[in-house]
Amino acid sequence: MFKEPKEQLEMLKKGTHSIIDEGELLEKLKRSHNEQQPLIIKLGLDPSAPDIHLGHAVVLRKIKQMQDLGHHAIILIGDFTGRIGDPTGKAKGRSALSDEQVKENAKTYYEQIFKVLDQEKTTVRFNSEWLSKMTFEDVMKLAATSSVTRMLERDDFQKRYKNNISIGIQEFFYPLIQAHDSVELKADIELGGTDQTFNVLMGRTLQNQLGLEKQIAIFMPLLEGLDGVEKMSKSLKNYIGVNEEAEVMFKKVMEVPDELIVKYFELATDEHPKEIEKIQNRIALGENPRDIKLELAEIITVLYCGEKKMGEAKQYFQTAFQKKLIPSNIPTILVEIGQEKIVDIIPLLIKNQFVKSKSEFLRLVKQDGVSFNSSKLTEDDLDRVIMNNDVLQIGKKRFIRFEK
């Protein structure tokens, strides 16, 4: 059974940047409710970047909320467009991919998107199904539905044109192809980030030109990373990956800047708007943001790693970073117990990437940044013989246990 349309609309609006058009969306929801038929939600994914982080998952979480309301998602892998390259919003177009790269990346997507989406309410399609069958006449007819003037309204094209940076003719086809995909799928709703505004709206335009009901465009804001400034990005190392180990994910969420707590609740969780309103009130009344962030870390880690793993990650975090004690589940290095000294195992620490070099390790020792069995390590201690279950701590985060 579908919930009342206005209640659905309230949930769908949570965290969105904009909806075009909200009135049309309500009418679609009413029809869907009356006919007990799910709406078709479209999301296109570029197969060139298969590692998904919470920034990418913002749109996926919104689709999951729609699935929970009874609707059906079509995840469209752009295998055809991936093979020809497309504009990225940067200074130059993205390179084309080989068939093998596209297939391998698409497989990786499968493993990650279903960490978020309901597989039973999701269909995965590839746009080569119809694009590879188009004749040159079909392509010319598609090209005739728009103009160069209209294409240059797209922000990144405009910037490149003004800066005399090359724009390939095939790049103009990318928004048209994305729009054609919406026609083929008979999409009711298409989601995208705010950087996809032009392409998604092209779908509405083309559907309207062909006498079809226009898809609703829902745009999600871009999520800032752990630095609190830049968009979450793997290259900037400010990301939380959906495939992170639970302990890593939990700790990273605890590093989210206080001013972004509410935004992360809105965009990275499935919490109801009323619950988020309560969180805003708690912050306004002066509750310690750390306690609220702990709840955020629990929710996000459960979503991707499960309840059991979250519990272990929380215990590890509280032990290692709050109580500053030695956690139990830490990496182990095998050594000759009772024979090797601390100075002897520095090459092992480098090999296992706990430190970059011997000089870095010695510098940290001088700066009181290394502990041995919870006591600060000094230069005079480097000749201490290592015994079974001794623990070395480097900085605040790196623990190593020695065993035979």
Interacting residues of 377 by C-beta distance below 8 A, sequence separation 6+: 342, 365, 370, 371, 392
Torsion of CA 167, 173, 177, 178, to 10 degrees: 30
Scanning the structure block, which residue is given the tokens 């991707």? 304
Q: What is the DSSP letter of 232?
A: P
Are 297 and 250 a contacting pair, CB within 8 Å? yes
Is residue 234 marked as binding?
A: yes
Sheet of 216-220: strand order equals: 18-20, 216-220, 189-193, 40-45, 72-77, 122-126
Q: Are 22 and 9 in contact (CB under 8 A)?
A: yes
- 270 in the Ramachandran plot: left (φ > 0), alpha (ψ -120 to 50) or beta? alpha
Please give the span between the terminal C-alpha atoms of the chain, in angstroms, as a whole number.
60
- State the amino acid at position 193 in one-letter form: G
Q: How many CA atoms lie within 13 A of 331 on its CB side?
A: 14
Question: Which pair of structure tokens corresponds to residue 60?
Answer: 């996926």
Closest by CA position to 333, among listed 319, 320, 347, 323: 347
Report CA Rg, the chain: 26
Query: 317 near 253, Cβ under 8 Å?
Result: no
* Calpha distance 276→292 (Å, rounded): 11
> 269: burial class by Cβ within 10 Å (0-12, 13-18, 19+)?
buried
- Binding-site residue numbers are 234
- Binding-site residue numbers for ATP are 234
